[in-house]
Homo-oligomer: A and B are copies of this chain.
């Protein structure tokens, strides 16, 4: 992008800017009476429970503009917000986007972020409802609040796991952490060069893990599948943080313990290959990595087979136990380790 095409935020009026950004809002529905352009977003919703979730991403902490394309950033924060709605077995309906924008960000850069949010809106079927824009001195900040809905008899909380239930996770774990390792390594290489060129690393060999980091996907497919099959997990949570701390959250809310198997953790070959290259323990990626946005859920043992017949992309990693037993992991060699309250291995 040449300098001549850098349209500053100030060059547009605020309202004109919002109009341009909202071009990426693909959907409309009867739910939304007034999406933006008034003091509040107005919804007309007469049934079930309403769900609200909220995510904040801050430049330099949650993302690095060196290697995060802006439309991916928009897609990813939307994924993070809707993932929390899916984790309650709900459907996202609408997001509000709050941006804190420094001068280095142009109108077209903001539009890239909205393009990503709009693409997520198509995939996850939500509208963009409004939000706020504020200036920032140095760093870009994004918050998304997501509004969703769920029938009262279909909601799934973190609490509700019963002793003996199978503990399951969708997809595979640790990929996002592996992708981040690769991107950080490539950035370090680039910083050691003279940086005359833009950051354009060849990531062909790492495509899977880099995608897991940059454009993670929330598990709408799983929520739709269990609705079709009329299967209702007893508890559910999304894996925003690593498995270890989310296990803690689920067990605590359910007042239960969990016994799980290191060897059962679903980890892709691509993720294993990165850990080998980095000379790191791949289980650490899965246990502490986070940002995979997979779902963890508990299900009575007798229902596992029925689900597996229709949906293959999940793994049983262990079972729910008595609370007194805490969170324990049986290592591949047979040794059992205990996780303490903070999700750290003892």
Contacts and interface: CB of A to CB of B under 8 A. Distances in A.
A135 interface: yes
A5 to B, nearest CB: 23
Contact of A54 (B85, B131, B152): B131
B13 A342 contact: yes
Interface in A70-110: 83-85, 87-88, 90, 94, 96, 98-100
A157 B42 CA distance: 10
A298 interface: no
Nearest to A133: B56
Contacts of A47: 46
A337 interface: no
Given A34-B157, A143-B98, A52 B61 contact: no
A94 to B, nearest CB: 7
A50 B42 contact: yes
A243 to B, nearest CB: 15
A129 interface: yes
Contact of A41 (B53, B62, B98): B53
B253 A37 contact: yes
Contacts of A146: 40
A216 interface: no
Contacts of A138: 138-139
Given A45-B50, A51-B42, A56 B99 contact: yes
B132 A55 contact: yes
A44 interface: yes
Interface residues of A, number: 66
A38 interface: yes
Contact of A42 (B43, B49, B94, B100): B49
A143 B95 CA distance: 14
Given A137-B60, A143-B98, A43 B54 contact: no
A158 interface: yes
A242 to B, nearest CB: 13
A136 B53 contact: no
A256 to B, nearest CB: 16
B134 A40 contact: no
A129 B52 contact: yes
A126 B49 CA distance: 18
A158 B61 contact: no
A38 B139 contact: no
14 contacts: A34-B157, A38-B158, A40-B53, A40-B87, A40-B146, A41-B52, A43-B52, A44-B50, A56-B133, A56-B143, A58-B100, A58-B134, A58-B135, A61-B137
Interface of A: 13, 15, 33-34, 37-47, 49-58, 60-62, 83-85, 87-88, 90, 94, 96, 98-100, 129-139, 141, 143, 145-148, 152, 155, 157-158, 237-238, 249, 253, 341-342
Given A53-B96, A136-B139, 13 more contacts: A38-B157, A38-B158, A39-B88, A40-B84, A44-B50, A50-B147, A52-B129, A54-B98, A54-B132, A55-B98, A56-B98, A56-B132, A56-B143
